[in-house]
Structure 1
Amino acid sequence: MIDWTTRLARRASTTPDLIGGILALAGARDLINFSGGFPDPSLFATDVVGDIARKLIENDAAVALQYSSSEGIASTREALADRLAATDGRRPADAELMVTSGGIDAITLIAKSMLDPGDVVVVEEPSYLGAVSGFMAFDPTLRGVPLDGDGLDVDALATLLRELPTPPKLVYTIPDFQNPSGRTMSVERRTALVELCRQHGILIVEDVAYSQLGFDDAPRPSLWSLGPDVVVQIGTFSKVFFPGVRLGWAVGPAAVVAQLSIAKQNSDQCAGALGQRMLEEYLRAGHLDEHLPLARALYRSRASALTGALERHFDGLATWTVPQGGFFSWLHVPGVDTMALAVVARESRVAFVPGSGFFAESRDNEHLRLSYSRISESDIEEGVVRLAAAVRSLRETS
């Protein structure tokens, strides 16, 4: 027998399978699952989507069932540009926008297009583990900048820039309802970050996966709207349409987007045309605008249920963020190795994501992420009770 593990690329030994473990629990029904950032299936507009799909197959098969260009179907990109004009207050030029196969595809395309081995990429600490592992596959040097209640610490970033011999290639940030912390970057920080990166010639990668899922109507300018010359915004419709079609976008400087499109030719070539046309029709008919208030209300209720359960059962055991949107709360459990806690919690049929994988540079085993997006309020209460018992059990035996 040939040991194929000896033939793997060197990068394979340093790329952890963190997302695989989360996705493996996507269909689990025998446990209370706080792990994945999955949208609730009850929100999927199956009747509307089914009708759209049927009409496209009947009337538009030559486009909807065919390959598309790597940058995306022209009419779909036009609908996305209209959407960005409404949400961000700026309509991108045609050459500034492309369709991607979800957010992680955009991250991979940016890494493939921008990074040589050893190039510095700055990420928030903690940060989305898919981005951390996605960048790591291209052998950069990852540097972490801390978060606080106002998001990425721009002063800390400025200090880091003074220490580095050359500026980083990229700064990756999730300014709205960040994954995993749930925190949101203040308007002042957004302006300061754009100006700092413009001054140093650094490309900002703005991930807006959760920006449409705020629990209030407070206006928050996107980084791309503040600095279209230094920002590539990447987004996904997985959270607000449905993840089965794997669709997102990248919008930014035309020269960068052109290279992302070339990179896509050598990955999956193009996003699925049927999904693109379904999304386009969904947007143009106003269905997303009708859907978002329902989604926000559901997730707001579940976030409130989680916060209340933590207040009742985790007082003195941990501290946590109170989400104002998105899917997540971030817990600090002092003195507890959350990798070990995950094993104990699974014995009580509870799953969550330990925090260590969300750190690119620091070592931190005392945090964990809870996702409330796909759990009923009664299960949230019971899951927090079980998790608190697991923390106490682990502390008693340590």
Structure 2
Amino acid sequence: MKVSQETRSWNDLFAVRTRSGVGEGLAAILALAGNTEIISFAGGFPDPQTFPGERAATLMQELVSGGDVSALQYAPTQGLPGPLDALATRLEVLQGHGPAADELMVTSGAIEALELVGKSFIDPGDDVVVEGPTYLGAIMAFRSFEAKVVAVAMDEHGLQVDELEQRLDRGLRPKLLYTIPDHQNPAGVSLSLERRQTLVELARHHGFLVVEDVAYRELGFRDDPLPSLWSLAPDVVVQAGTTSKTFFPGVRLGWAAGPSEVVAQLVAAKQNTDQCAGSLGQRLFEEYVRRGWIDEQLTQSRALYQRRCERMMSALERFMSPSATWTKPEGGFFSWLRLPEGIDAIGLAQRALKSGVAVVPGDPFFPDGRGSNNVRLSFSRVDDELIDEGIQRLAALITSEDKGRST
């Protein structure tokens, strides 16, 4: 029988692995983040005022007109030598550990590093451990390779490694464990030093790879960052990094650092994924780093995000229901709000939109349906004066519903 245009459904031909539905959640978040008619605590975007517009334009002009065609040509899959050297030097300065030449590659953002790890390691049905809650994009990436994504709970000190150890002792056998140890998305907390040390020892003992996402590491508000997992245990950790929050996201530039055997496999996987990261973005970042401009930009970015974070914390203290609790970040973009008992986050988010405020309910950040009484709040791109107004509107909705349930 000939299939007519009216009866054809391409959905019937889509691979089973595409039907998890989490992609729709991310699209909805991005749509909320881009709506300028509401006060949006929804997105995780950097503020455009931190972008290096004039300096990037200057560098681009120099690169294009200077006769060096490397910025306009295809790059080696692992990355251009100059940008790789700039990245390696920067990692050694910031993290106290420098990768060898075969332990580092350039990626098209941190999310591609996760995709390459998934492509290289995950067979259908493999266990991948994540924090509960965690970055939605990571859940999407691992599920696209038909992994079984398992969440381990967090508290104010990050991943509960004692719970992880208990589950490992009971038979959990993950190939990978994905974590954001610094200023986590969405929870806004950081993994304690003791837990970092315990986690890498568990990885060594049980034979799994730790995938460390450091997207927010350089956006800490204090001058004494904890050691990265990769610097503690480069033998069992692959670090996925991005310049999107510290340079600008339009270049789609990141890195993966890890054991040479792992990096070689990731390079092979990238070869038949997108072949190479953009040469122009690599060269722009290299020159920006070598001229010292990246550190100037980071100083300004940290000050901006710290001010907004403090503004949000103050507004929550003044306006929010005493039955609600929230995390107090020391860096990054996010705070994690726990609603009073009985208030559903999805319903609250819908009502908040009608009041001109966008928030993200907590359930997309879990692989197992939890998070119905949590909300993620982002302070990164909300003008200072609108933070008070937005939190006050949100708090009024929560307080009203909380009082209604208690009467």
Distance 1:60 1:317, change over 3 A: farther
Question: Which residue number corresponds to residue 161 of structure 2?
Answer: 154
The within-5 A match list for 1:4-83 is 4-16=10-22, 17-83=24-90
Aligned: 1:139 with 2:177:
no
Aligned partner of 1:307 among 310, 313, 336: 313
Aligned counterparts of 2:323 and 2:356: Cα–Cα separation in 1: 20
1:264 corresponds, among 267, 270, 292, to 270
CA distance in 1, matches of 2:360, 2:21: 17
User: How many Å apart are 1:317 and its aligned residue?
Assistant: 4.0
The alpha carbon displacement at 1:55 in A equals 0.4
Considering only aligned residues, what root-mean-square deviation do their CA atoms show, in Å? 1.4
Partner of 2:254: 248
Q: Is structure 2 residue 177 aligned with structure 1 residue 171?
A: yes
Residue identity in the other structure for 2:25: L
Q: Is the 8 A contact 1:125 1:362 kept in 2?
A: no
Question: Are 1:322 and 2:332 counterparts?
Answer: no
Q: What is the CA deviation profile of residues 295-326 of structure 1, one whole-angstrom value per residue up to 9, with x for unaligned ones?
A: 11111110000001001111324100011100
Cα distance in 2 for partners of 1:265, 1:391 equals 50
SS of equivalent to 1:63: helix
Describe the shift of the 1:138–1:290 C-alpha distance in structure 2 as closer, same or farther (beyond 3 A). same
Aligned equivalents of 1:351, 1:106: Cα separation in 2: 30
Contact preservation (8 Å) 1:204, 1:232: yes
* 1:192-248 deviation per Cα after TM superposition (whole angstroms, max 9, x unaligned): 111111111110000000001111112310000000000000011100100011111
Look up the match of 2:240. 234
Superposed displacement of residue 18, structure 1:
1.9
Task: Give 1:362 shift.
Answer: 5.2
2:379 aligned with 1:372, yes or no? yes
Deviations 1:350-391 (A, max 9, x none): 111110011123522000100000111110000011111222
Kept in 1, the 8 Å contact 2:150–2:367? The answer is yes
Cα distance change on mapping 1:144 and 1:352 into 2, 3 Å = same
Match of 2:119 among 104, 112, 118: 112
Is the contact made by 1:341 and 1:394 (CA closer than 8 Å) also made in structure 2?
Answer: no
Residues 65-119 of structure 1: CA deviation (Å, up to 9, x unaligned): 1111111111111110000110111110111100111111111111111100111
- Cα pair distance change 1:61/1:28, threshold 3 Å: farther
- Contact 1:65 1:274 (C-alpha < 8 Å) held by counterparts: yes
Match of 1:345 in 2: 352
SS of the aligned residue for 2:150 comes to strand
Answering whether residue 371 of structure 2 is matched by residue 356 of structure 1, we say no
**Aligned partners of 1:303 and 1:372 also within 8 Å:** yes
User: What's the TM-score, normalizing by structure 1?
Assistant: 0.97
Kept after mapping to 2: 8 A contact 1:344/1:394: no
Write the letter of the residue equivalent to 1:268: D
Output the CA distance in 2 between the equivalents of 1:380 and 1:312.
12
Task: Return the alpha-carbon distance in structure 2 between the equivalents of residues 162 and 65 of structure 1.
Answer: 52
3-12 or 46-55: bigger deviation: 3-12
Match of 1:216 among 216, 222, 226: 222
Gaps of 5+ in 1: none
1:159-201 CA distance string (max 9 Å, x none): 0101126x21001111100111110111111111111111111
CA distance in 1, matches of 2:236, 2:368: 25
